[in-house]
Amino acid sequence: MVGAVRDASPRWSERQLADWAEPQLARVEDALSRWVGIDAPVLLGEAMRYAVLDGGKRLRPLLVLAASEAVAPLAPARTAIGDAALRAACAVELIHAYSLVHDDLPCMDNDVLRRGKPTVHVKFGEADALLAGDALQALAFELLVPDEADIPAAVQARLVRLLTRAAGSQGMAGGQAIDLASVGRRLSESELREMHRLKTGALLQGSVEMGAACAGELPAVVLAGLRDYGAAIGLAFQVVDDILDVVADSETLGKTAGKDAAADKPTYVSLLGLEGARASAQQLLAQALAALERSALSDTAALRALAHMVVDRDR
Amino acid sequence: MVGAVRDASPRWSERQLADWAEPQLARVEDALSRWVGIDAPVLLGEAMRYAVLDGGKRLRPLLVLAASEAVAPLAPARTAIGDAALRAACAVELIHAYSLVHDDLPCMDNDVLRRGKPTVHVKFGEADALLAGDALQALAFELLVPDEADIPAAVQARLVRLLTRAAGSQGMAGGQAIDLASVGRRLSESELREMHRLKTGALLQGSVEMGAACAGELPAVVLAGLRDYGAAIGLAFQVVDDILDVVADSETLGKTAGKDAAADKPTYVSLLGLEGARASAQQLLAQALAALERSALSDTAALRALAHMVVDRDR
């Protein structure tokens, strides 16, 4: 029985996750380095590459790649999945990177430190940072619709559809707008959850769904399981972010710690307390793992390990 | 002979162009009103709608629609063209609108007046203006990949491909970066042309190409003719913009006049003089009309009228 095999597969060690992730990350870094900011004029290309290369945990690309591997056995023709997944992995990272560049601008969070380096506008000026973010968003979608690649047009269109929804006014940008409007206000837990579902969750969930979309049409039970998994780790990620903002120092985080409290922003910690937030993260992890069980996929070891990583990380 | 019929078709009067454009514009306004900022949270949706609705000449949508009508007789199945063209028309306008919102920000042109109204950041604040621009870009691509619509996936993917290239670092955003870097410098005519080819021309040319792409695969001679037409009017548009910045007043323009000279920006007028710039605009108009002749399309009256409008406009 497939279920028994799946349940019996042991949880990956950190080493096993690293062994899986390393070659994946090498492919992503190589692709980003080939695709980002090449042939862009003057400082724009340099600012785009500075914003994207050599930085970040690449969690979203790993989610795309892990999801695409999990569904690969269900795909009608397996050949094009790898190329589509690599492009989708880079595209979600570009959306993430552009959102950080714009988020750090003086009119938003006015942050000077990101991944241990000066933020893009500190290094290149505000105008070029703004344009670099804009160009990274366009490039994210461009990567999904290659002219010559062997990716079915229906898959290309589906990937664009999922990414626009994850990134736009009913996804990430919408969540950021709620965040802006919430500074200094008291939010209920459900309001806070809605904000984070959009602001951070939509792109993490979208990453999982895009990985799945690389395989073409899939059974509804698989899609639902992966969607629920993505939603749970999307929220868990933000809960852990809020915890780390309180307990970690800036050096470990590679960005300014304690800034939510300083900005009087509502967080899971301010709402639930530190222990309450930790309990919430564990509960969301359990939900994510249960959703994977429901997906009836046979090989979800990487997705499970990533869920644990999201909750157990210290930066 | 088709050529004789084409050559014999007289140039449209302003009235004829208006009679053609009016119902097209009504469809575009109606669609934008249904698609922009709906279900976006808090102020974000309002800022998006403010940036897009009730304003602008809608030149780019008209180019999409005129091009799609010109190629419609060549399409294998005519039914889906109208929906694809309407979506493409709205998408190019959203890219144009987002670029204006970001361009007007204090870190870029710091402009307070646009289409006779306060700019988006003056009305909604800089942070919401930034996010509204970001969300409008995502929405532009989202419109091109509808889930249920009867548009072939290959056409959807092609439209996204054309729009990303027109908007990104090798199109509009790249041109804006060159523009930034050129303030206070002397540019040669070829440098100035390259800047405008990207900054303004890419999206105008992209509009024409997207209109053509709605019909699916087309003969190379048609695509080349329309591309050259788009490139010529794209450049002509900017030459006329530079002329109007000198000769028109802010009230007629609906935006601040004389700001290029004030910012010490290189323009066609500063480079060629007023008469030289006017001659250049007429030359580009002739090139655009000649390119349409080469396209061998039988009904190009609307495209020709739009080319005249670009050059003869007073705002």
Tens of pLDDT, residue by residue over B21-42, are 999 999 999 999 999 999 898 8
CA distance A49 to A29: 11
Using a CB-CB cut-off of 8 Å, the residues of chain A touching B153 are 152-154, 156-157
CA of A35: which chain B residue's CA is closest?
A: B169
* Cβ-based contacts under 8 A for chains A and B: 181
pLDDT of residue B263: 66
Q: Residue B314 pLDDT more than 90?
A: no
Q: Residue A262 pLDDT more than 70?
A: no
Contact state of A169 with B41 under an 8 Å Cβ cutoff: yes
Determine how many CB atoms are found less than 10 A away from the CB of residue A54: 11
Which of B40, B152, B178 lies closest to A41 in CB terms? B178
CA distance A153 to A147: 10
B73: which residues sit within 8 A by CB, 6+ positions away?
A: B298, B299
CA distance A196 to A217: 29
**Cross-strand bridge partners of residue B153:** none
Percent of chain A scoring above 70 in pLDDT: 91
DSSP secondary structure of A137-198: HHHHHHHTS-SSSS--HHHHHHHHHHHHHHHSTTTHHHHHHHHHHHTTS---HHHHHHHHII
Residue A4, token pair as written in the block: 């028994």
Position with higher pLDDT, B262 vs B217: B217
Are B57 and B21 within 8 A, CB to CB? no
Contact state of A145 with B161 under an 8 Å Cβ cutoff: yes
A260 in helix, strand or coil?
Answer: helix
Q: What is the mean pLDDT of residues B197-222?
A: 96
**DSSP code of residue B255:** S
For chain B, the C-alpha Rg in angstroms (whole number) is 19
Q: B184: alpha, beta or left, given left = phi > 0 and alpha = psi -120 to 50?
A: left
pLDDT of residue B157: 97
A220 in helix, strand or coil?
Answer: helix
Among A1-5, A76-80, A174-178, the range scoring the smallest mean pLDDT is: A1-5
pLDDT of residue B111: 93
pLDDT of residue A1: 33
Are B264 and B184 within 8 A, CB to CB? yes
Q: What is the mean pLDDT of residues B5-15?
A: 71
Using a CB-CB cut-off of 8 Å, the residues of chain B touching A45 are 169
Nearest to B142 by CA among B35, B38, B45: B35
A187: which residues sit within 8 A by CB, 6+ positions away?
A: A195, A266, A271
Contact state of A135 with B168 under an 8 Å Cβ cutoff: yes
Are B36 and B53 within 8 A, CB to CB? yes
Q: What is the mean pLDDT of residues A118-141?
A: 97
Q: Residue A259 pLDDT more than 80?
A: no
- How many angstroms separate the CA of residue B296 from the nearest CA in chain A? 26
* Residue A3 confidence class, pLDDT cut points 50, 70, 90: very low
Q: What is the mean pLDDT of residues A41-48?
A: 93
Which of A42, A156, A177 lies closest to B42 in CB terms? A177
- How many angstroms separate the CA of residue A19 from the nearest CA in chain B? 35
Contact state of A135 with B37 under an 8 Å Cβ cutoff: no
Report strand pairing: A117-118 vs B113-114.
unpaired
Nearest to A130 by CA among A150, A108, A146: A108
Position with higher pLDDT, A24 vs A254: A24
Residue B200, token pair as written in the block: 């303004």
* Residue B2 confidence class, pLDDT cut points 50, 70, 90: very low
Residue A27, token pair as written in the block: 């492919």
Helix residue ranges per DSSP H, A53-125:
59-71, 81-103, 120-124
Distances (CA, A) of A297 to A80, A82, A89, A173, A236: 20, 18, 21, 32, 22
What residue type is assigned to position B197 of the chain?
R
Determine how many CB atoms are found less than 10 A away from the CB of residue A107: 19
Output the pTM of the full model.
0.94
Are A294 and A224 within 8 A, CB to CB? yes
pLDDT of residue A314: 82
| Among A130, A159, A210, the residue to mutate for chain B (most B Cβ within 10 A) | A130
Residue B176, token pair as written in the block: 């804006």
* Residue B6 confidence class, pLDDT cut points 50, 70, 90: very low
B132: which residues sit within 8 A by CB, 6+ positions away?
A: B44, B47, B48, B50, B51, B98, B101, B120, B124
Q: What is the mean pLDDT of residues A93-107?
A: 97
* Residue A72 confidence class, pLDDT cut points 50, 70, 90: very high
Among A245-249, A261-265, B117-121, the range scoring the smallest mean pLDDT is: A261-265
Using a CB-CB cut-off of 8 Å, the residues of chain B touching A181 are 41-43
Residue A196, token pair as written in the block: 């984070």
Report strand pairing: B117-118 vs B113-114.
antiparallel
DSSP secondary structure of B88-143: HHHHHHHHHHHHHHHHTSTTTT---EETTEE-HHHHH-HHHHHHHHHHHHHHHHHH
Top-ranked range on mean pLDDT: pick from A178-187, B71-80, B156-165: B156-165
Among A192-201, A210-219, B73-82, B198-207, the range scoring the smallest mean pLDDT is: B73-82
Q: Which residue's structure tokens are 């050059």?
A: B311
CA distance B143 to B86: 10
Q: Residue A87 pLDDT more than 70?
A: yes
**Number of residues assigned to chain A:** 315
Q: Residue A6 pLDDT more than 50?
A: no
What residue type is assigned to position A12 of the chain?
W
Contact state of A44 with B141 under an 8 Å Cβ cutoff: no
Contact state of B40 with A180 under an 8 Å Cβ cutoff: no
Which of B142, B169, B175 lies closest to A37 in CB terms? B169
ipTM of predicted complex = 0.93
A315 in helix, strand or coil?
Answer: coil
Q: Residue B255 pLDDT more than 60?
A: yes
Which of A128, A142, A154 lies closest to B177 in CB terms? A128
Report strand pairing: B117-118 vs A113-114.
unpaired
Distances (CA, A) of A87 to A211, A226, A232, A259, B314: 10, 19, 24, 34, 45
Backbone angles phi, psi at B113, to 5 degrees: -130, 130
- Model confidence over B260-280: pLDDT tens digits? 666 677 889 988 999 999 999
Distances (CA, A) of A165 to A94, B125, B140: 15, 24, 11
* Residue A78 confidence class, pLDDT cut points 50, 70, 90: low
A68: which residues sit within 8 A by CB, 6+ positions away?
A: A81, A82, A84, A85, A88, A211, A212, A214, A215
Position with higher pLDDT, B256 vs B41: B41
Residue B77, token pair as written in the block: 């199945």
Q: Which CATH code is given to the segment(s) A10-312?
A: 1.10.600.10
Are B154 and A157 within 8 A, CB to CB? no
- How many angstroms separate the CA of residue A311 from the nearest CA in chain B? 28
Position with higher pLDDT, A260 vs A18: A18
Using a CB-CB cut-off of 8 Å, the residues of chain A touching B148 are none
